[in-house]
Amino acid sequence: MTRDTRQRRAIRSVFDDADGPLGPQEVLDRAQRDVPGIGLATVYRTIKLMVEDQELNPVELPGEPARYEPAERGHSHHHFFKCDACGRVYEMQGCVSNPSSLAPDGFRVSRHEIVLYGTCANCA
Amino acid sequence: MTRDTRQRRAIRSVFDDADGPLGPQEVLDRAQRDVPGIGLATVYRTIKLMVEDQELNPVELPGEPARYEPAERGHSHHHFFKCDACGRVYEMQGCVSNPSSLAPDGFRVSRHEIVLYGTCANCA
DNA sequence: ATTCGTGCAAAGACTTTGCATAAAT
DNA sequence: ATTTATGCAAAGTCTTTGCACGAAT
């Protein structure tokens, strides 16, 4: 079904080399070093396949287009920090005590997202 | 600077009557009952002005276009619950203990967002 | 040879903007 | 009369899709 092509291998290696989640355009820019003719549509299609194959996890921050990261990094429960200064997104391990307690009675919570904003160690 | 027109009054009343945050298209649909000729561009422009005037707060959930709610409701710190079944967004008062503790050393946290997903009381 | 992926361009969802007209002051 | 908002359509961003061509089996 899903073939492992030159393009897909290049995209995989872009994610493996990345230091944080990447958006499609960033992936394209980096993948073009390996496969000059690659197009944006291929990046979108390949990312979608890799998400279906659980090879990538989407990282969706409020008000921003989706980024993606390799699934290994996403296996343990974690959240994200976005630096208001440099815009970089950092992954944070761990979680707060019991976020589900926020929900009113009768609401069943199956998952949650937490995003922190501020200034990262590099920008401080 | 900002004039209070028929359209803007209609949009304000749509938000005041709403039971949760609304997106621009929903606002348009409801405002057209009052002001039949109103256009989507006016809704977008008016929402932007009302956000600048602190009359509305944006409600941005991961991977979804922005919704908005009257600022009074947004004055106390709160978060949101999105029902996976009906898609409705609920506001939750309160917050978890200390979300900032998730951030690594050297990171300064200025704000955070928490979104819960699951099944609401109506759908359960 | 057949199947599936790619590149390009067209189209789709959401949002912003330019411009002539209309409304508010 | 002057200023500012409106409506429409065009354009902009991000993403998906149709289709002919190319690559992999």
Please give the helix or strand (H or E) that residue A73 lies within, else none: helix A71-74
CB atoms within 10 A of CB B30: 17
| Per-residue model confidence (pLDDT) at position A33 | 96
Query: What pLDDT does B73 receive?
Result: 72
Confidence of residue B110 (pLDDT cuts 50, 70, 90): very high
Give the dihedral sign, CA A109/A112/A118/A121.
positive
Task: Tell me how close the Cα of A108 comes to any Cα of chain B, in angstroms.
Answer: 5
Residue A53 CB partners (closer than 8 Å, separation 6+)? A2
| Confidence band for B1, pLDDT divided at 50, 70 and 90 | low
Band of pLDDT at residue A8, cut at 50, 70 and 90:
very high
Q: Can you say whether the dihedral through the CA atoms of A85, A87, A93, A99 is positive or negative?
A: positive
Tell me the C-alpha to C-alpha distance, in Å, between residue B112 and each of A52, A82, B33.
29, 10, 37
Say whether A114 and B117 touch across the interface (CB within 8 A): no
> Could you tell me the CA-to-CA distances from B9 to A44, B4, B21, B59 in Å, in that order?
42, 7, 17, 21
Can you read off the two tokens belonging to residue B6?
């028929």
| Exposure of A49 in the CB half-sphere (CA atoms within 13 A) | 16
**Helix, strand, or coil here: A63?**
coil
pLDDT for A6: 96
pLDDT greater at residue B82 or residue A94: B82
- Alpha-carbon gap: A91 to the closest alpha carbon of chain B (Å): 9
Nucleotides of chain D in contact with protein CB (under 7 A) are 4-10, 14-18, 23-25
Distance CA B105, CA B80 (A): 28
| Contact yes or no for A106 and B99 at CB 8 A | no
Ranges A7-11, B69-73, B94-98: which has the least confidence: B94-98
Please state whether strand C lies within 7 Å of residue A9 at its CB atom.
no
Summarize pLDDT for B2-21 with one digit per residue, the tens.
789 999 999 999 999 999 99
B6-74: CATH topology is Arc Repressor Mutant, subunit A (1.10.10)
Least Cα distance to B102 among B114, B94, B91, B93 occurs for B114
Q: Which residues of A touch B62 (CB under 8 A)?
A: 60-62, 113, 115
pTM score over 0.75: yes
The 8-class DSSP code of residue B97 comes to S
Are the C-beta atoms of B69 and B15 separated by less than 8 Å? yes
Give the DSSP H or E segment for B81.
Answer: strand B78-83
Question: Which pLDDT band, with edges at 50, 70 and 90, does A1 fall under?
Answer: low
Q: Where in chain A is the domain with CATH 1.10.10.10?
A: 6-74
Joined together, the tokens standing for residue A93 give: 């391990």
**Interface contact B98-A98, CB threshold 8 A:** no
In this predicted structure, what is the pLDDT of residue A74? 61
C strand bases under 7 Å from protein CB: 4-10, 14-18, 23-25
Residue type, B66: A
Predicted confidence at residue A44, as pLDDT, reads 98
> Residue B69 has which token pair?
């709610």
- The H-assigned helical ranges of chain B are 6-17, 24-31, 40-52, 71-74
- What are B27-78's pLDDT values in tens digits? 999 999 999 999 999 999 999 999 999 999 999 999 999 999 999 876 678 8
* Range from A82-96, A109-123, B67-81, B83-97 that averages highest in pLDDT: A109-123
Band (pLDDT 50/70/90 cuts) for residue A114 is very high
User: Is a pLDDT exceeding 90 seen at residue A65?
Assistant: yes
Instruction: Considering only residues B72 and A43, tell me which one the structure prediction assigns the higher pLDDT.
Output: A43
For the CA of A66 and the C1' of C16, the distance in angstroms is 21
CB contact under 8 A, A114 and B109: no
Q: Is A79 on the interface with B (CB under 8 A)?
A: yes
C-beta of residue A61 within 8 angstroms of C-beta of residue A115: yes
